[in-house]
Amino acid sequence: MWTEEAPVRSVVNRVGHQLQKCLSEKGLCLLVNHGISDEKLKTAWDHLDDFVDLPNDVRELYIRTGDDNHGYVRPGVERFDGKTPELRHAFNICTLNATNLPEEPLPGFAEHISSLAQDFKALSRFILQALAVSLDIPQSFFLEKHSHMLSGDHDNESTLRLLYYPPIIEDTDDKNDFVKGSCIYSYQRCLSDQPDFRPESNPRDEINELDGNEENKNTTVRQLPNGEMIRCGAHTDYGTFTLLAQDSEGGLEVKLPGSEKWQRVGHLPGAILINCGEILSIWTKERYPALPHRVVIPEQQHIRSRGRHSIAFFCHPDNLTMISPNDLPNTEAGTDTVDKKPRKKSFKAAKEKVYNAYQLIQKRFRETYGQQNSH
């Protein structure tokens, strides 16, 4: 579809026009024919499973220290709402030349994951150009602001994150904390090749999450008031956009722009989802709104007793890029055509005082990692 340096102009234009429609209306897009094979994604998940199976003291050697975002994050360390632990293992890769990868206990890990990170970087560079086209601004506009992705020079926070959510095994003794269980990629359950945005009623829609729910202020149990549990709390991503590949276990839910309902995003085999982050939302004055999303645990016992995998690539601007809603050249997105909509906090803050990408992202890391982050 493209080469990293010179994507075919007509393809950039076509994708740009599609992005314009779906990102402004839905805040997300599903990408197909993106060039990253399903096999390559599954092999990465196999490597992550092998990592999670390593003894605790070996895993500890690769732990994220907070000096940068690189490394292993144990279940329970991240807290999107500031208090409720996320039930997942994460491995962050922030550079193509990472030295602290578990190559010794897991031969092949480093090479495979670095190559996958390179693929996601190339895809992101393509999307950055298509995004510019979609906003009718020079094709290189965003590319120039993301020139240090994965360079390892601490000038850019872009990150490839491998994720594993352990099975939920009901256990009356409450000892089931973060069980690593067997996991199968159950592609046979994907009956449709269409994305599954379900508008029908969902029992969870009526339920507020722990965030803002007075009754649950002090609890740390990842449970909705109706007893349903969630794997990853509701949040918007911090950067420009996120590329997300998920296995067929399901659970990802989004709030589309203008809606308060959580809607499921079904698994489209091979597709990668793009969702807008807070920085793109600031740049475009919310024409491309940051997409609230979360991962819930499937209701059916036999599905929740399996693990779930995903891979996210968080595309961030270079750290010193100032992020202002007035940056975009004077186009429809660069004028205040949508000023009557209620504004998000991040947008208002950016309008009042301009921060650089590093300051905005570190503030969000502090909120997510709390005391455990050394920044």
Out of 36, 122, 127, 312, name the contact with ligand AKG by CB under 6 A. Answer: 312
Regarding 78 and contact with Fe ion (CB under 5 A), the answer is: no
Site for Fe ion contains 86 (CB under 5 A): no
Hey, which residues does 286 pair with through a beta bridge?
Answer: none
- Would you give the DSSP letter of residue 347? H
**114 interface partner picked from ligand AKG, Fe ion, none, CB below 5 to 8 A per type:** none
* Residue 64 engages ligand AKG in binding (rule: CB under 6 A): no
Which residue from 216, 310, 346, 368 is in contact with ligand AKG, where contact means CB under 6 A? 310
Please tell me whether residue 253 binds Fe ion under the rule CB under 5 A: no
State how far the Cα of 117 lies from the Cα of 120, in Å rounded to an integer.
5
Amino acid of residue 9: R
Minimum CB separation of residue 264 from ligand AKG in Å reads 12
Smallest gap from Cβ 174 to ligand AKG, in A, equals 24
* Count of residues in contact with ligand AKG, rule CB under 6 A: 11
**What phi and psi, each to the nearest 5 degrees, are found at residue 188?**
-65, -15
| Least Cβ distance, residue 334 to Fe ion (angstroms) | 27
Smallest separation, CB 353 to ligand AKG (Å): 26
Whether the Cβ atoms of residue 7 and residue 129 lie closer than 8 Å to each other:
yes
Whichever of 237 and 249 has its CB closer to Fe ion, that residue is 237
**Closest approach of Cβ 242 to Fe ion, in Å?**
6
CA pair distance 216, 286, nearest whole angstrom: 31
Binding at 232: pick from ligand AKG, Fe ion, none (beta carbon under 5-8 Å per type)? ligand AKG
What is the strand order of the sheet 272-276 is part of? Answer: 28-31, 272-276, 241-246, 308-315, 159-165, 89-93, 71-73
Binding-site partner at residue 73 among ligand AKG, Fe ion, none, CB < 5 to 8 Å by type: none
Fill in the DSSP letter of residue 234. E
- Considering only 163, 282, 328, 361, the residue that binds ligand AKG (CB under 6 A) is 163
What is the residue whose two structure tokens read 């075919």? 8
Reduce the DSSP state of residue 288 to 3 states and report it: coil
Give the nearest distance from C-beta 293 to ligand AKG in angstroms: 5
CB-closest chain residue to ligand AKG = 310
Alpha helices in 274-356 (DSSP H): 278-283, 301-304, 345-352
- Identity at 256, one-letter amino acid code: L
Find the shortest distance in angstroms from Cβ 28 to ligand AKG. Answer: 12
Choosing among ligand AKG, Fe ion, none, which partner's interface includes residue 244 (Cβ < 5 to 8 Å by kind)? ligand AKG
Short-list 230, 205, 206, CA closest to 299: 230
- Per CB under 6 A, which of residues 252..271 are in contact with ligand AKG? 252
329 contact partners, CB below 8 Å, separation of at least 6: 137, 138, 141
Task: For the chain, count helices (H), then strands (E).
Answer: 9, 13
Out of Fe ion, ligand AKG, none, what residue 133 binds, judged by CB under 5 to 8 A for its kind, is none
Closest residue by Cα to residue 225 from 250, 206, 243: 206
- CB count within 10 Å of CB 75 equals 20
- The site string for Fe ion over 181-220 (x = CB under 5 A, - otherwise) reads ----------------------------------------
Give the footprint of ligand AKG on residues 269-298 (CB under 6 A): 293, 295
Instruction: List the alpha helices (DSSP H) in 196-257.
Output: none
Q: Is 55 exposed, middle or buried (0-12, 13-18, 19+ CB in 10 A)?
A: exposed
Could you tell me which stretch among 14-22, 45-53, 92-100, 244-252 binds ligand AKG (CB under 6 A)? Answer: 244-252
Question: Smallest distance, Å, CB 276 to ligand AKG?
Answer: 13
**CB 120 to ligand AKG: min, Å:** 14
237 makes contact with ligand AKG (CB under 6 A): yes
Residue 237 interacts with Fe ion (CB under 5 A): yes or no:
yes
Residue placing its CB nearer to ligand AKG in the complex, 246 or 321: 246
Number of C-beta neighbours around residue 319 at 10 A: 18
Among candidate residues 31, 41, 5, 37, the one with its CA nearest the CA of residue 122: 5
Residues in contact with ligand AKG by CB under 6 A are: 161, 163, 232, 237, 244, 246, 252, 293, 295, 310, 312
Chain residues that interact with Fe ion, rule: CB under 5 A: 237
